[in-house]
Structure 1
């Protein structure tokens, strides 16, 4: 299946601090379900998933966040729900995933119900370091056509802004996938316009190599204030990724070892002096992580045992939760090639 998934899709972020927040995020989910053509039964399942996830945050952590948006997948039409907190974590996850078990003494069906209702479910937790839950519900009951990569991304504007100047996009086709991560200069609407122009360049030049996409984006960004940009092309047949970067998008590939992605100085759309692509091995199970400078660079997944093998959105959520600077727009894009040893 060929598809473009990007940060241009609507993503609703809800702080969960009070019981009234549960109804607010549930209404947001219903609105998206209506827009995507979910039937009443599937929309009802989504409402239950959201209610249990939000209630779980309040009961066990006191506060947290829930993100609701279209499925970050080329496989079909669906809705993703991401819930995370900085609470005490879950000491016995296996017990909590039994349907009907509630350690908070509630009559709710708990995490076991979420696991049962969601078409895709994953969780990452550490004692004393909070928990992150990922739930996906497809619109249709039939199994979606698989895609060659799994995608997980989060993005957030700096406080006081409604639009995020950091953006991302992934185009999937039968031969591979093309990745793009952009950080529009500054923040606010003009930075968002620059990121959108970069995504438009990918939409117009699907399937090209990383350096070709960088040149196309340079032309597309000339009328804007410009951006830092990273582009990559994964070729399934070659088990390889070609990467090109200009500016301060940080990135790495994790495939047993961790390999940093090298970028050149410059601003795409203005003073881009050099474009060079670098090949890296990228076989089944390999993970690529790209993020803007709104995320600290000192993170190390070795301090999160087992996280690298979880759903990409869980990796993105932990990095965003624990390493966001808070002084600029922020974005994390994680892409795994199918075939993980999870």
Structure 2
């Protein structure tokens, strides 16, 4: 199904010297809503990728579940594996609201059509099979709202750049890559999503 309400653009780069990027992401739009998730396996390389991809596979199979249910399922499957940090965004088109939660250093920033930026403070820690406290942010969905989700390869200084205020998601990721990707020394994923009516 074609994206009708969400424009999405992604930048991803593995840590220098690594074939595998330890970050994995998934997104899907339906008639009812949209889900996007980003996981960063602890460390880097193949085992980090294995854990982050396992979490994405679970989310893909359970995209209709609540964020709380998804996190619980993912946590249960990570026993004995490399842990992950995880961010999940869900948008409800009918109720015009979004929910987001993040464990560890997956961040999200929202930008309103008036160029007002808001950063979410993630829950500390990571998922590795033991229970985690979880807070879920719930807020109103505004027309032309831009969501920026990112792993820890994206520095908070980068996020202050004015090109995040643009409305073309592809242009935002292109400018990010052009200006900043050479300076990064970690697995890096940047997902830029714009809601349109």
> Do they superpose with TM above 0.5?
yes
Distance 1:320 1:215, change over 3 A: farther
Partner of 1:316: 173
CA RMSD of aligned residues (A): 1.9
Question: C-alpha distance in 1, partners of 2:132/2:84?
Answer: 14
Extract unaligned runs of 5+ from structure 2: none
- Pairing 1:158–2:15 present: yes
Where has structure 1 moved over 4 Å in runs of 4 or more?
none
- Pairing 1:201–2:35 present: no
**Looking at CA atoms only, which structure, 1 or 2, has the larger radius of gyration?**
1
Note if contact 1:209-1:232 (Cα within 8 Å) is conserved in structure 2.
Answer: no
1:243-262 to structure 2, matched below 5 A, reads 243-255=100-112, 256=114, 257-262=116-121
Equivalent pairs counted in the alignment come to 194
Question: C-alpha distance in 1, partners of 2:64/2:7?
Answer: 17
Note if contact 2:24-2:49 (Cα within 8 Å) is conserved in structure 1.
Answer: yes
Note if contact 1:169-1:199 (Cα within 8 Å) is conserved in structure 2.
Answer: yes
1:332 to 186, 190, 194: 190
Question: C-alpha distance in 2, partners of 1:217/1:320?
Answer: 31
Between the two structures, name the one with larger relative contact order (CA 8 Å, sep ≥ 6).
2
Note if contact 1:230-1:244 (Cα within 8 Å) is conserved in structure 2.
Answer: yes
Note if contact 1:292-1:331 (Cα within 8 Å) is conserved in structure 2.
Answer: yes
What does the per-residue CA deviation read over 1:93-135, in whole Å, with 9 as the maximum and x for residues that have no partner?
Answer: xxxxxxxxxxxxxxxxxxxxxxxxxxxxxxxxxxxxxxxxxxx
Distance 1:271 1:319, change over 3 A: farther
Partner of 2:122: 263
Distance 1:271 1:327, change over 3 A: farther
1:1-342 to structure 2, matched below 5 A, reads 1=1, 75=2, 146-255=3-112, 256=114, 257-300=116-159, 303-304=162-163, 307-310=165-168, 312-324=169-181, 325-339=183-197
Q: 1:323 Cα deviation (Å)? A: 3.4
Question: C-alpha distance in 1, partners of 2:5/2:130?
Answer: 35
Q: 1:201 Cα deviation (Å)? A: 1.2
What does the per-residue CA deviation read over 1:57-83, in whole Å, with 9 as the maximum and x for residues that have no partner?
Answer: xxxxxxxxxxxxxxxxxx1xxxxxxxx
Q: 1:285 Cα deviation (Å)? A: 1.1
Distance 1:307 1:187, change over 3 A: same
Distance 1:166 1:321, change over 3 A: farther
Question: C-alpha distance in 1, partners of 2:134/2:57?
Answer: 19
Note if contact 1:214-1:244 (Cα within 8 Å) is conserved in structure 2.
Answer: no
Secondary structure of the corresponding residue to residue 309 of structure 1 = coil
Q: 1:212 Cα deviation (Å)? A: 2.2
Q: 1:239 Cα deviation (Å)? A: 1.4
Distance 1:320 1:182, change over 3 A: farther
